[in-house]
Amino acid sequence: MGAADESGAAEAVRHIFDSIAPRYDLLNHLLSANIDRLWRRRAARHFRAVLARPEASILDLCCGTGDLTLALLRRRSRGSQPILAADFSRAMLARGANKFGEHARKPGTPYAVPIEADALQLPIADGALDLIATAFGFRNLANYQAGLEEFFRALKPGGQLGILEFGEPGGLVGKAYAVYFHRVLPAIGRAICGQDVPYAYLPRSVGKFPQPGQLLAMMQAAGFANCAWRPYTFGIAGLYTAERPR
């Protein structure tokens, strides 16, 4: 909002998430009535086959405070390669790193390595990853098409992509949700967080996000195959999946 270019937009988003990091988990779970945990577990379950392979290279992108990373780790076997957990908000990533440390206390437990990185310029070699997963972070990229092309570059042939994101459901559910999302949620976020911008940004960013058909077309334009969208909870959220052709 108010950014002059992609660089300015990215910096504004970084500032928003750095500022709300201390209360991010509380607000996430409170405002979604803990359904966000279910969505992440369901997304991780979709990729259970690749997660079960100990040698698979996996990246949780825009990992935030690491809740999706933990859902992915719970489906990894002992001795598996660590999951890479990347975010460009240092404050969010620091909180995720604390969770990863708690999770990996027992020897041999699958663990995660936090990396401070920009999703549009990943420090990952071409064709290195078996899975890129992201939850509620893709929407914040300054350039969606460039992001998809970067993901395509970093995935191996046959590698999979999963994007869990908010949506805007239709019908009566959609109308009721719109009232909550645009009026109630920002008010609660402001009361707890003490700031106007972060929880005014959320509904605006969802409103500007491509519709499922549009994003699927963008994924195909980036070179992905088998592109699909699975709605969760009446379409309030949904999982986009695709793979890099072999």
Q: Which residues contact 133 (CB under 8 A, 6 or more apart)?
A: 43, 44, 47, 58, 59, 60, 61, 68, 72, 161, 162, 163, 164
**pLDDT of amino acid 4:** 54
pLDDT in tens, 68-92: 999 999 999 988 999 999 999 999 9
209 backbone φψ class: left, alpha, beta (φ>0; ψ -120 to 50)? beta
CATH architecture of 6-167+210-243: 3-Layer(aba) Sandwich (3.40)
Beta-ladder partners of 59: 84, 132
**pLDDT of amino acid 198:** 72
What distance lies between CA 164 and its chain's CA centroid? Answer: 6
For the chain, give every domain's residue range.
Answer: 6-167+210-243
Confidence band of 138 (pLDDT split at 50, 70, 90): very high
pLDDT in tens, 182-209: 888 788 877 877 776 777 787 888 888 9
Q: Which residues contact 204 (CB under 8 A, 6 or more apart)?
A: 1
User: In terms of Cα–Cα distance, which of 152, 62, 54 is closest to 111?
Assistant: 54
pLDDT in tens, 210-227: 999 999 999 999 999 999
Angle at CA of residue 54, ends 50 and 57, nearest 5° = 65
Whether 169 shows a pLDDT value over 60: the answer reads yes
DSSP string of 70-132, one letter each residue: HHHHTTSPTTPPPEEEEES-HHHHHHHHHHHHHHT-STT---EEEEE-BTTB-S--TT-EEEE
The C-alpha atoms of residue 41 and residue 167 are separated, in whole angstroms, by 18
Q: Which residues contact 102 (CB under 8 A, 6 or more apart)?
A: none
The C-alpha atoms of residue 225 and residue 11 are separated, in whole angstroms, by 32
**pLDDT of amino acid 70:** 96
- Taken in order 112, 154, 122, 40, is the CA torsion positive or negative? negative
Whether 2 shows a pLDDT value over 70: the answer reads no
Mean pLDDT of the chain: 91
Confidence band of 229 (pLDDT split at 50, 70, 90): very high
The C-alpha atoms of residue 18 and residue 164 are separated, in whole angstroms, by 21
Take residue 118 and report the two structure tokens written for it: 């920009």
**DSSP 8-state class, residue 211:** P
